[in-house]
């Protein structure tokens, strides 16, 4: 493995269905503008609640990608 540098950013994905879909939504969106995504780590899960019901699932995701700067 050659020497490399990676940048880590934090994203929040949302879904009305599940935390898994919320995390996937974050990664799918990131992959449209970032290249060479490497690792994704779900760091926090929470829910948006309205009138006593879950309105949305949210996943905070740390994503790393190769730094080319």
pLDDT in tens, 21-61: 999 999 999 999 998 899 999 999 999 999 999 999 999 99
Q: How far is CA 56 from CA 6, 43, 64, in A?
A: 31, 17, 25
pLDDT of residue 39: 94
Domains annotated for the chain, with CATH where assigned, are 13-66 (3.30.1660.10)
Classify strands 37-50 and 53-66 as parallel, antiparallel or unpaired: antiparallel
Instruction: Please give the model's pTM, rounded to 2 decimal places.
Output: 0.85
Provide the greatest CA pair distance for the chain: 53
pLDDT of residue 69: 66
Task: State the Cα–Cα distance between residues 25 and 27, nearest whole angstrom.
Answer: 5
pLDDT at 20 over 80: yes
């Amino acid at each position: 493995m050659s020497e490399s540098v990676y940048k880590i950013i934090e994203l929040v994905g949302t879904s009305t269905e599940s935390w898994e879909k919320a995390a996937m939504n974050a990664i799918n969106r990131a992959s449209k503008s970032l290249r060479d995504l490497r690792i994704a780590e779900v760091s926090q899960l929470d829910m948006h609640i309205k009138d006593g019901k879950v309105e949305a699932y949210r996943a905070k995701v740390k994503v790393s990608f190769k730094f080319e700067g």
